[in-house]
């Protein structure tokens, strides 16, 4: 584990942006900078930006590297299930990918009944609903317990994500029936693979978000990121059963503890957020690195900092 003082010293150098003039299309997302190449390829740079409550809160040393390399690991681990967009990883923060046309839905897979927001499965179930998001749930389920089997609850993409049923994906014309069937089968298989590998690392993959798209040659591909602390929830396996039996919340091992830090200070997404402390940022960095090591079984090897000059040189090499 990297030393806390060392991580604090890197906070001013965390990768917030990239000062480079690009000849082709450039798209800036919450976490990633996407650079088009002229031959149906795209360079994806994962920055250290940390978003929550639908806004960017700070930048965390090595977060971008963790997300990029962890996604690369999962793309490799699931390539036998469905093709993915990865061509190369030329830098710890950079992925060279096939330029796909993203599908207009996010595929949410849930293995447990949990959550307290108004759209969460447990919240709806606790109100007495038994037909939720197109699924029938039995009586007697316990909060944070495993579902009888994992389910898919898709959401639309847009300014505000809308939860829809699996049937509505086809009914609304978002995807044709054959493609949606392929996506659902792949998502459930990837989730099962993820749960098995996470268990070996002492973690429970609770739920996750996948994105798919269509490649120029017509193939359906897994894109974006896979099983990262940004896109997934993880619980600590060792303490899960005891905490469930005691009616306590599971020990989380993802971005949830960051949300709790803000919630404890009265911030839930409205107004100006409190400034994160250096201690919090260092803890986030350590947690992301630990998650990488637990899931991959590999020792994290930090890239050189500051990262911007290194990454810009990598990008320029693709323009030669």
**Residue that is written with structure tokens 């960095």 in the block:** 285
Domains of the chain: 102-245 (3.30.470.20)
62: left (phi over 0), alpha (psi -120 to 50) or beta: left
Nearest Cα to Cα of residue 15 among 76, 124, 106, 91: 91
Distance CA 43, CA 279 (A): 32
Residues 6+ apart with CB under 8 A from 81: 186, 189, 190, 193
pLDDT confidence of residue 159: 66
pLDDT confidence of residue 170: 98
pLDDT digits (tens, 9 = 90+) for 138-174: 999 999 999 999 999 999 987 667 889 999 999 999 9
Provide the whole-model pTM: 0.95
Run means of pLDDT, 10 residues per run, the chain, 320 residues: 92 95 93 95 97 89 98 98 98 98 97 83 93 94 96 87 93 98 98 98 97 98 97 96 96 84 84 92 95 97 95 92
The alpha-helical segments, DSSP class H, found in the chain are: 4-10, 63-77, 121-126, 166-171, 177-200, 237-245, 256-264, 278-296, 308-317
pLDDT confidence of residue 173: 97
Nearest Cα to Cα of residue 125 among 117, 315, 222, 8: 117
pLDDT confidence of residue 150: 98
Task: Please report, to the nearest 10 degrees, the dihedral formed by the alpha carbons of residues 269, 275, 277, 282 taken in order.
Answer: 60
pLDDT confidence of residue 271: 87
In degrees rounded to 5, what are phi and psi of residue 106? -105, 135
pLDDT confidence of residue 52: 84
Distance CA 296, CA 62 (A): 16
Is the separation of the CB atoms in 207 and 108 below 8 Å?
A: yes
pLDDT digits (tens, 9 = 90+) for 53-80: 888 999 999 999 999 999 999 999 999 9
């Amino acid at each position: 584990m990297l030393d806390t003082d060392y991580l604090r010293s890197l906070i001013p150098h965390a990768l917030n942006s990239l000062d480079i003039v690009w000849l082709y299309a450039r798209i800036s997302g919450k976490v990633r900078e996407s650079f088009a190449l002229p031959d149906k390829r795209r360079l994806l740079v994962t920055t250290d930006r940390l978003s929550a409550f639908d806004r960017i809160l700070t930048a965390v040393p090595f977060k971008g590297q963790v997300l990029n390399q962890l996604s690369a690991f999962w793309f490799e681990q699931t390539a036998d299930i469905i093709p993915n967009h990865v061509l190369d990883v030329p830098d710890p923060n950079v992925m060279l990918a096939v330029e796909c046309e993203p599908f207009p839905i996010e595929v949410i897979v849930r293995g447990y009944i949990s959550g307290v927001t108004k759209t969460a499965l447990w919240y709806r179930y606790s109100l007495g609903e038994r037909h939720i998001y197109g699924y029938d749930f039995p009586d007697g389920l316990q909060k944070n317990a495993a579902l009888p089997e994992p389910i898919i609850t898709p959401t639309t993409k847009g300014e505000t994500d809308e939860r829809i049923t699996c049937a509505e994906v086809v009914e609304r014309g978002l995807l044709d029936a054959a493609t949606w069937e392929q996506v659902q089968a792949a998502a459930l298989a990837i989730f099962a693979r993820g749960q098995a590998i996470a268990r070996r690392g002492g973690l429970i993959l609770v739920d996750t978000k996948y994105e798919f798209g269509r490649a120029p040659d017509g193939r359906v591909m897994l894109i974006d990121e896979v099983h990262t602390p940004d896109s997934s929830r993880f619980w600590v396996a060792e303490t899960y059963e005891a905490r469930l039996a005691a009616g306590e919340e599971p020990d989380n091992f993802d971005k949830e503890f960051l949300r709790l830090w803000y919630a404890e200070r009265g911030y839930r997404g409205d107004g100006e957020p409190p400034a994160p402390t250096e201690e919090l940022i260092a803890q986030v960095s350590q947690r992301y690195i630990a998650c990488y090591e637990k899931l991959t079984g590999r020792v994290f090897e930090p890239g050189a900092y500051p990262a911007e000059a290194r990454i810009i040189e990598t990008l320029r090499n693709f323009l030669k």
